[in-house]
Amino acid sequence: MTPKRITHRINGKPWDGIPERAGEVFDPATGEVAGLVDFAGVAEVDAAVAAASTAFQSWRHASLTQRATVMFAFRELMNSRKRELTEIVTAEHGKVLSDAAGEVQRALEAVEFACGIPQLLKGGFSENASNRVDVYSIQQPLGVVGVISPFNFPAMVPLWFVPNAIACGNTVVLKPSEKDPSAANFLAELFAEAGLPDGVLNVVHGDKVAVDRILEHPDVRAVSFVGSTPIARYVYETGTRHGKRVQALGGAKNHMVVLPDADLDLAADAAVSAGFGSAGERCMAISVVVAVEPVGTELVARIQDRIANLRVGDGRRPACEMGPLVTGAHRDRVVSYVDAGVAAGASLVVDGRDHPIDASGSGFWLGPTLFDHVTPEMSVYTDEIFGPILAVVRVDGYDAAVELVNANPYGNGTAIFTNDGGAARRYQNEIEVGMVGVNVPIPVPVSYYSFGGWKDSLFGDSHAYGPHGVHFFTRTKVVTSRWLDPSHGGVNLGFPTLS
Ligand code: NAD
């Protein structure tokens, strides 16, 4: 099979230049190179920013009705073509089709939120704040904004930001992950079909070179980033140093606390679903189960039983529940933690290297892996592995569980499983994590709340999408207005006060 070429979309059309560099895009289920993606240099990023700057001059004046109309049209198009988008996600990411469909559905929710932009951009108005003085606030777009996204949600994460950014009147340069770049191009084509003017949404592909240019470009006003913590920190520091507004969402190590009174079947189902869905390549995956004794042995047994029945294989095969890892290099890194866990003294209850695989070719496989008796200094606990490895840490009581979670540098998501409402309520209050589930293992907020972790899982003060998204992509102006009448009081150098 000849690999397809994937290129940038600048000013409403595919880029027609010759790339200096390109990257391989794999079909993770077969291990074959399915595409070659052009890597942008400084010139291509500059061209995209220039197109976005020009488009901003008119798009910022587009009426709220016009912006909402585009968003509704995009929503309809995406909904009617979601099967295609789902297949694109599975082909390059590897996640099974049903999981990709879930990603697309959650992405649609973010689009639907942005359809309400006329309501979301309403300002405040105070009539007669002083004598015949009115005060009101308006929210205006920032200009060109950069969106830099990770491989693990190639459709959803771009759509956490792009609809709100555009609906608020900004123009966008999107730099998706170079590992699965096609979904971003598909979305940009749908936006064009929905009536979005050329240049409002541009897609550049590439790696650090493209990211650095976005971070340094003087015409880029803000950057939304999602990825691993070291890069998120770098993006936040570099972008803010260049005077930009930055929100940078980072990695995670999400704990699921199981109290002794929990329904253990519910907890085991949740641990397996949230630990191994998408092969653990989710920033909200559960990677640590904190078993509050005496439930450890029984819980581990029930998780082990469920793992045995999981169908791992090519995501395009309908029966498969878990797909491959995204690349061979990532698979090798994840597998290295199996050896590291054993060497550190954890009990390897299920070795994913032995799991049967339903696929042809040599994809990037590792089956679900379960460690028990993991302790906090082991690398299987400290590191974000981002693969199908679930670690069980046993603790002696509720307080020890909270202490463990709060001592972890990450604070993206967490869940507690219990039938004790008081304990759950205490947990939600005491835990230093941005998103909390009570008997819900993956508490990704609906689109009219906002998504974001605490501590090393987010740099900046704005979470993604929802109300924070609108706030991030606008700046507020407050107007104090008086229409003079002939009786105004003349010159007065005193500081204005209310009267
Ligand atoms: P990554 O950090 O490797 O890449 C993210 C983006 O940064 C990509 O577009 C990539 O091209 C770019 N990039 C990579 N290296 C760079 C460098 N040295 N300089 C500048 N840019 C660079 O992340 P990934 O492997 O694509 O995605 C997985 C990570 O994303 C995990 O850590 C996961 O937890 C995290 N994630 C977080 C959230 C969240 O909401 N907090 C959501 C999804 C994924």
Residues 221 and 271 in one domain: no
Cα dihedral across residues 234, 173, 111, 472: positive or negative: positive
Residues 230 and 137 in one domain: yes
Cα dist from 376 to 120, 169, 258, 260, 344, whole Å:
44, 47, 17, 21, 11
The chain-wide mean pLDDT, for the chain, equals: 97
Residues 300 and 229 in one domain: no
Confidence band, pLDDT 50/70/90 cuts, at residue 84: very high
283 is catalytic: yes
Query: Is the distance from the beta carbon of residue 226 to the nearest atom of ligand 1 less than 6 Å?
Result: yes
Using a cut of 0.90, tell me whether the model's pTM lies above it. yes
Residues 238 and 280 in one domain: no
Distance (Å, rounded) from C-alpha 348 to C-alpha 340?
11
Question: What percentage of residues in the chain have a pLDDT greater than 70?
Answer: 99
The helix/strand/coil state of 278 is helix
What are the tens digits of pLDDT across the range 153-195?
Answer: 999 999 999 999 999 999 999 999 999 999 999 999 999 999 9
The catalytic position among 115, 168, 283, 320 is 283
Q: For position 358, which CATH number holds? A: 3.40.309.10
Q: Does 491 have pLDDT greater than 90?
A: no
Distance (Å, rounded) from C-alpha 98 to C-alpha 195?
30
Query: Is the distance from the beta carbon of residue 177 to the nearest atom of ligand 1 less than 6 Å?
Result: yes
CA angle, 167 as apex, 165 and 168 as ends, to 5°?
A: 65
What is the model's pLDDT at position 490?
A: 80
Q: Which two tokens stand for residue 229?
A: 């913590």
Q: Residue written as tokens 């096609």?
A: 182
Confidence band, pLDDT 50/70/90 cuts, at residue 497: confident
Choosing from 89, 156, 228 the residue with most ligand 1 atoms within 8 A of its CB, the one to mutate for a pocket test is 228
Preceding omega of 294 cis (within 30 degrees of 0):
yes
What is the model's pLDDT at position 499?
A: 63
Q: Residue written as tokens 């979309």?
A: 9
The per-residue DSSP string of 15-38 comes to: --S--SEEEEEEETTTTEEEEEEE
Residues 354 and 468 in one domain: no
Q: Does 1 have pLDDT greater than 90?
A: no
Distance (Å, rounded) from C-alpha 296 to C-alpha 103?
32
Tell me, in angstroms, the distance from the centre of ligand 1 to residue 101's CA: 22
Predicted interface score ipTM higher than 0.85 = yes
Counting Cβ atoms within 10 Å, is residue 213 exposed (0-12), middle (13-18) or buried (19+)? buried
The helix/strand/coil state of 465 is coil
- Under DSSP, the state recorded for 261 is T
Q: Does 476 have pLDDT greater than 80?
A: yes
8 Å CB contact between 148 and 203: no
What is the model's pLDDT at position 235?
A: 99
Q: What are phi and psi of 64, to 5 degrees?
A: -60, -35
Residue 394: other Cβ atoms inside 10 A: 20
For atom 32 of ligand 1, the residue with the nearest CA is 228
Domain with 141 in it:
4-250+457-478
Tell me, in angstroms, the distance from the centre of ligand 1 to residue 42's CA: 20
Q: For position 124, which CATH number holds? A: 3.40.605.10
Distance (Å, rounded) from C-alpha 184 to C-alpha 179?
12
Residues 116 and 178 in one domain: yes
Query: Is the distance from the beta carbon of residue 151 to the nearest atom of ligand 1 less than 6 Å?
Result: yes
Distance (Å, rounded) from C-alpha 245 to C-alpha 223?
6
Residues 93 and 238 in one domain: yes
Query: Is the distance from the beta carbon of residue 206 to the nearest atom of ligand 1 less than 6 Å?
Result: no
Number of structural domains found in the chain: 2
Mean pLDDT computed over 128-132: 93
Tell me, in angstroms, the distance from the centre of ligand 1 to residue 232's CA: 7
Residues 469 and 320 in one domain: no
Tell me, in angstroms, the distance from the centre of ligand 1 to residue 468's CA: 21
Distance (Å, rounded) from C-alpha 350 to C-alpha 355?
9
Whether residue 41 is contained in a domain is answered as yes
What is the model's pLDDT at position 487?
A: 63
Residues 80 and 183 in one domain: yes
Residues 298 and 383 in one domain: yes
Q: Does 482 have pLDDT greater than 70?
A: yes
What are the tens digits of pLDDT across the range 53-72?
Answer: 999 999 999 999 999 999 99
Q: Does 488 have pLDDT greater than 80?
A: no
Q: Which two tokens stand for residue 371?
A: 């460690």
Cα dihedral across residues 276, 180, 463, 162: positive or negative: negative
- How does strand 254-258 pair with strand 286-292? parallel
Q: Which two tokens stand for residue 124?
A: 């405040």
Distance (Å, rounded) from C-alpha 59 to C-alpha 330?
41
Q: What is the dihedral of CA 42, 43, 47, 48, to 10 degrees?
A: -30
The helix/strand/coil state of 330 is helix
Closest atom of ligand 1 to 151 CA is 26
Whether residue 212 is contained in a domain is answered as yes
Query: Is the distance from the beta carbon of residue 145 to the nearest atom of ligand 1 less than 6 Å?
Result: no
Mean pLDDT computed over 230-252: 98
What are the tens digits of pLDDT across the range 387-424?
Answer: 999 999 999 999 999 999 999 999 999 999 999 999 99
Mean pLDDT computed over 127-141: 96
Query: Is the distance from the beta carbon of residue 456 to the nearest atom of ligand 1 less than 6 Å?
Result: no
Whether residue 22 is contained in a domain is answered as yes
Residues 161 and 280 in one domain: no
Residues 269 and 297 in one domain: yes
For atom 34 of ligand 1, the residue with the nearest CA is 251
